[in-house]
């Protein structure tokens, strides 16, 4: 699992350079001093803490089903995709129908509450159970697309590419 690397360097009185190698991307950014906000730094720290919690809960759940590191990183990548990399577990999408880090959609029969979608352990378990129920063990791609909608449509194929991109970066 990638660890948090967040280094701030002060370069004279000219400004501030932020080297930010954080999940899910490794990239370098230079931000002038007036643009740096403590809230931006806090968001990065919170995202990484949530990703670590997802990793821990996914490891437990995936191990329970005899699934390994691929399963763990699939769950992390789904959460990253669903939140745009912010891991905001209070996120509400799809016109109020989808909630949490995994954007659990209430179009499905309600077997989870809104509050539970914000709880990492519950939402990881719910998501993995749903993936397995939709064929994850035999057809990972279809199950991941099914998490997002109807498999093999333009939207779910794009979604799968995003999940795979996040996952590839996690495996580096």
**In the predicted structure, residue 122 carries a pLDDT above the cut 50:** yes
User: Which residues neighbour 8 within 8 Å (Cβ) at sequence distance 6 or greater?
Assistant: 16, 17, 18, 19
Report the percentage of the chain scoring pLDDT > 70.
71
pLDDT (average), residues 10-31: 38
Q: Which range among 32-36, 106-110, 156-160, 166-170 has the greatest average pLDDT?
A: 156-160
**In the predicted structure, residue 12 carries a pLDDT above the cut 70:** no
CATH number, domain with residue 143: 1.10.530.10
Give the pLDDT confidence of 38-65 residue by residue, as tens digits. 554 444 555 688 999 999 999 999 999 9
Who wins on pLDDT, 151 or 110? 151
- Strand 29-30 versus strand 98-99 pairing type: unpaired
Q: How confident is the model at residue 21 (pLDDT cuts 50, 70, 90)?
A: very low
pLDDT (average), residues 89-101: 90
Who wins on pLDDT, 169 or 171? 169
* 3 occurs within a structural domain: no
**In the predicted structure, residue 32 carries a pLDDT above the cut 60:** no
* 126 occurs within a structural domain: yes
Report the domain count for the chain: 1
User: Which residues neighbour 36 within 8 Å (Cβ) at sequence distance 6 or greater?
Assistant: 16, 18
Mean pLDDT rounded to a whole number for the chain: 79
**In the predicted structure, residue 149 carries a pLDDT above the cut 90:** yes
* 53 occurs within a structural domain: yes
Instruction: Select from 47, 60, 40 the least CA-distant residue to 4.
Output: 47
User: Which residues neighbour 30 within 8 Å (Cβ) at sequence distance 6 or greater?
Assistant: 17, 18
* 92 occurs within a structural domain: yes
* 112 occurs within a structural domain: yes
Instruction: Show the domain range for 82.
Output: 38-171
* 11 occurs within a structural domain: no
Of 21-35, 77-91, 147-161, the least confident:
21-35
**In the predicted structure, residue 25 carries a pLDDT above the cut 60:** no
Question: pTM for the complete prediction?
Answer: 0.74
């Amino acid at each position: 699992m990638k660890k948090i690397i967040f280094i701030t360097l002060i370069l004279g009185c000219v400004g501030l350079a932020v080297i930010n190698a954080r999940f899910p991307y490794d990239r370098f950014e230079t931000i002038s001093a007036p643009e740096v906000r403590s809230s931006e730094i806090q968001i990065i720290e919170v995202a990484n803490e949530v990703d670590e919690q997802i990793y821990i809960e996914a490891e437990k759940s995936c191990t329970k089903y005899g699934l390994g590191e691929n399963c763990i990183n699939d769950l992390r990548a789904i959460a990253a995709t669903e939140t745009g990399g912010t891991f905001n577990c209070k996120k509400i999408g799809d016109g109020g129908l989808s909630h949490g880090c995994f954007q659990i959609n209430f179009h499905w029969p309600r077997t989870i509450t809104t509050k539970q979608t914000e709880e990492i352990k519950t939402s990881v378990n719910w998501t993995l159970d749903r993936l397995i129920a939709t064929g994850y063990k035999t057809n990972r791609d279809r199950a991941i697309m099914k998490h997002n909608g109807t498999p093999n449509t333009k939207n779910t194929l794009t979604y799968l590419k995003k999940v795979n991109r996040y996952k590839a970066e996690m495996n580096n």
